[in-house]
Structure 1
Amino acid sequence: MARRAGLTADRLVRAGVELADEIGFERVTLSELARRFDVKVASLYSHLRNSQDLKTRIALACLEELADRAADALAGRSGKDALRAYADALRDYARQHPGRYAATRFPLDTATALASAGVRHARMTRAILRGYDLAEPEETHAVRMLGSVFHGYVSLEGTGGFSHSPPDSQTSWERIVDALDALLRTWPAG
């Protein structure tokens, strides 16, 4: 099968990442991608297996992009400062790139997840927690709690869940990070 000049898997994934922000990750399909390049869907199959493959590759690219941003935000920080920097990096990414953020939440099979930048996110969270002196298994519980709070808040905020009543969501976000810091400093023994 002849390949259309200039089409590569990387180029298609990059376009898929952009489409995620433009139309929403859930609406990114091979058909939408083919329209973007003015080609037939069949011409994409020499680069991508199917829509699942496309979405997985987009998710991996977005996880990597978010991990890079979070790592930059965390550089040289510790304790509460690191906690806030990581939380803000995640929230800012979700606000600036809602489709890409949605892609970071795409379910991956175990092998793919273990080879993804999701592992970097977990390591960064564990690095933050070293400042709170938590031992296993408490550290794992704290990693899960932080992920739940950060992603839950960002998801609710992204759908307008906090826009109907005062105080503003920024004030709540700051109070939540302060409360998480206090909780982590006084984490109950297991």
Structure 2
Amino acid sequence: MARAGLTAERVTRAGAELADEIGLDQLSMARLARRLGVKDASLYSHVRGLEDLRGRIALLAADEKTIRIAEATAGRAGKEALVAFANAWREYAHRHPGRYTATQIPIDIDPELAAKAPGPRRAVELTYGMLRGYGLAEPDLTDAVRLLRSTFHGFVALEAAGGFAHARSPQRSWDRALDALHTLLEHWPPSREGDSS
């Protein structure tokens, strides 16, 4: 009864699509098997189980999100790069909520599989590269990366949960937040002595 041509990649992509529809937390091997028209046991020929599937979805999503951010920021610097980066991040989270969730939680991923996936490494390179345009160096680079990730993720998570009930448009708040981040990055406070660890 196994569908012809079923592979780990096809199982992962189908799992990602299903996670976007129903939420990563609702994804199960049984639901995915029904989606693919196979018996549950057939999936275990391609992925080790639910955690392995979630890990593969996380790697797929990291690759996709990084490609979108790279395309959006190519040839840009300063505020233009920051805004393009942030908008690509937010758009991906809106379009692919299940996949996005997978990129934000710790998941046990096969180290060999993870080593072959360029997305997570490339995401770090893109983020640090953009922030170097503001003249930042370590340890400020790491602190700024954490600030951006916290801001972007916090905003899209609250937005997805319906957490912005005020009449003011979330888009206007997003735009102002990016204005504020740009100003902060241009005037980053100097590191304190002994603040390198």
Aligned to 1:52: 51
Counterparts of 1:160 and 1:118, CA distance in 2 = 28
**Matching residue's letter, 1:167:** R
1:124-169, CA deviations, whole angstroms, 9 ceiling, x for partnerless residues? 111111111011111111111111111111111111111x113110
Do the aligned partners of 1:56 and 1:106 also contact (CA within 8 Å) in 2? no
Counterparts of 2:3 and 2:159, CA distance in 1 = 41
TM-score by length of 2: 0.89
Counterparts of 2:37 and 2:155, CA distance in 1 = 38
**How far off its partner does 1:110 sit?**
8.2
- The correspondence for 1:132, drawn from 131, 134, 145, is 134
TM-score by length of 1: 0.93
Aligned to 2:75: 76
Please, what is the CA RMSD of the aligned residues?
1.8
Aligned to 1:147: 149
Counterparts of 1:125 and 1:166, CA distance in 2 = 32
Structure 1 runs (4+) deviating above 4 angstroms are: 109-114
Do the aligned partners of 2:77 and 2:130 also contact (CA within 8 Å) in 1? yes
Aligned to 1:36: 35
Aligned residues: 188
Counterparts in 2 of 1:59-138, with a 5 A limit?
Answer: 59-109=58-108, 112=111, 115=115, 116=117, 117-138=119-140
Aligned to 1:5: 4
**Matching residue's letter, 1:172:** S
5+ unaligned residues in a row in structure 1: which ranges? none
Do the aligned partners of 1:3 and 1:46 also contact (CA within 8 Å) in 2? no
Do the aligned partners of 1:21 and 1:99 also contact (CA within 8 Å) in 2? yes
**Matching residue's letter, 2:190:** A
Indicate yes or no: 2:186 matched with 1:189.
no
1:9-51, CA deviations, whole angstroms, 9 ceiling, x for partnerless residues? 1111110111011111111111111101221111111111111
Identical counterparts, % of pairs: 53
Aligned to 1:175: 176
Aligned to 1:161: 163
**Matching residue's letter, 2:172:** T
Give the secondary-structure state (helix, strand or coil) at the position aligned to 1:46.
coil
**Matching residue's letter, 1:173:** W
Counterparts of 1:145 and 1:20, CA distance in 2 = 27
Moved more, 66-75 or 91-100: 91-100
Counterparts of 2:141 and 2:88, CA distance in 1 = 21
**How far off its partner does 1:177 sit?**
0.4
**How far off its partner does 1:3 sit?**
5.9
**How far off its partner does 1:111 sit?**
7.6
**How far off its partner does 1:4 sit?**
4.6
Counterparts of 2:173 and 2:35, CA distance in 1 = 40
**Matching residue's letter, 1:148:** S
